């Protein structure tokens, strides 16, 4: 699910500067925008949506904290030239994922996060996923598993998938992760109520998600959401 022209326009200048060669030394291919020193810095991992690629979200870093390191991952399943997905949709109706795809992609992403934290000298408690659409669903998938391999995640225009929801409801104690949920009220691809339902479930299970609604916004990331993301990340590591 690609973002709208509004986001592309917003990030055009930053994206041009952010293009680097594709890195292939970790379990998933990725782009890196990192500080040249080896200081232990917080690390953000961007997860793109359906049909997009690793170049899609990296420009967001220019609106986010400068002290962080940033990686943007390419999903493991190819759709065509420059287009990738994290999982195939299961059947008709609501946007659910094929369980085998979710398991395989989740394992690869967890392995990537662990290896990236080591390579870039980041404590796992200061590694954060930021996912859009299908990437947001993977943020839930990896960020809420026990034990958590990240310190937090942001799910933008996403959905908590049924297979994970069922496991969370039977798991008991909440994982010690920070959660940001952002969703446009006019989203016609992943409906707004998917965001509110995830927020309500996580609160019921003992999490403390920070939920942000964006009135009139469709399936995209706008300036207000970037400001909120920046504030959230700054608050995690002042």
pTM for this predicted structure: 0.91
Chain segment 162-204, per-residue pLDDT in tens:
889 988 888 777 888 999 999 999 999 999 999 999 999 999 9
What is the dihedral angle through the alpha carbons of 211, 217, 222, 228, rounded to the nearest 10 degrees? -20
The answer to whether residues 219 and 189 touch, using CB atoms and an 8 Å cutoff, is yes
Chain segment 220-231, per-residue pLDDT in tens:
999 999 999 999
Closest CA to 75 of 39, 49, 43: 49
Q: Where are the domains of the chain?
A: 5-236
Which residue in this structure is represented by tokens 């594709």? 22
Sorted by sequence, the CB contacts under 8 Å of residue 17 that are 6+ apart come out as 62
Closest CA to 223 of 7, 3, 5, 1: 7
pLDDT for position 96: 80
Peptide bond into 147 cis (omega under 30): yes
The answer to whether residues 72 and 54 touch, using CB atoms and an 8 Å cutoff, is yes
Check pLDDT > 60 for residue 18: no
The answer to whether residues 154 and 229 touch, using CB atoms and an 8 Å cutoff, is yes
* Residue 135: count of CB within 10 angstroms of its CB: 30
Q: What's the average model confidence in pLDDT over 135-151?
A: 92
Write the DSSP assignment of 130-183 as a string of letters: EEETHHHHHHHHHHTSSSPSSSEEEEES----HHHHHHHHHH-SPPS-EEEEEE
Q: What's the average model confidence in pLDDT over 95-99?
A: 80
Chain segment 19-61, per-residue pLDDT in tens:
479 999 999 999 999 999 999 999 999 999 999 999 999 999 9
Fold assignment, 5-236: Rossmann fold (3.40.50)
Check pLDDT > 50 for residue 217: yes
């Amino acid at each position: 699910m690609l973002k709208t022209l509004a986001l592309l326009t917003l990030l055009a200048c930053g994206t041009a500067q952010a293009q680097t060669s594709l890195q292939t030394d970790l379990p998933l291919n990725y782009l890196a925008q990192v500080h040249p020193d080896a200081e232990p810095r917080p690390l953000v991992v961007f997860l793109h949506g359906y049909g997009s690629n690793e170049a899609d979200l990296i420009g967001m870093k220019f609106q986010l904290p400068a002290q962080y390191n940033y990686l943007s991952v390419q999903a493991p399943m190819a759709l065509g030239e420059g287009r990738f997905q994290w999982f195939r949709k299961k059947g008709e109706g609501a946007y659910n994922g094929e369980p085998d795809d979710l398991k395989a992609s989740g394992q690869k992403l967890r392995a990537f996060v662990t290896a990236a934290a080591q390579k870039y000298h980041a404590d796992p408690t200061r590694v954060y996923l930021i996912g859009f659409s299908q990437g947001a669903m993977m943020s839930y998938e990896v960020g809420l598993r026990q034990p958590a391999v990240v310190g937090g995640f942001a799910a933008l225009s996403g959905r908590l998938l049924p297979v994970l929801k069922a496991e969370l409801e039977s798991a008991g104690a909440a994982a010690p992760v920070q959660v940001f949920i952002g969703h446009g009220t006019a989203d016609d691809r992943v409906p707004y109520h998917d965001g509110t339902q995830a927020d309500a479930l996580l609160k019921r299970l003992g999490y403390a998600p920070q939920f942000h609604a964006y009135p009139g916004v469709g399936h995209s990331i706008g300036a207000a959401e970037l400001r909120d993301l920046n504030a959230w990340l700054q608050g995690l590591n002042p």
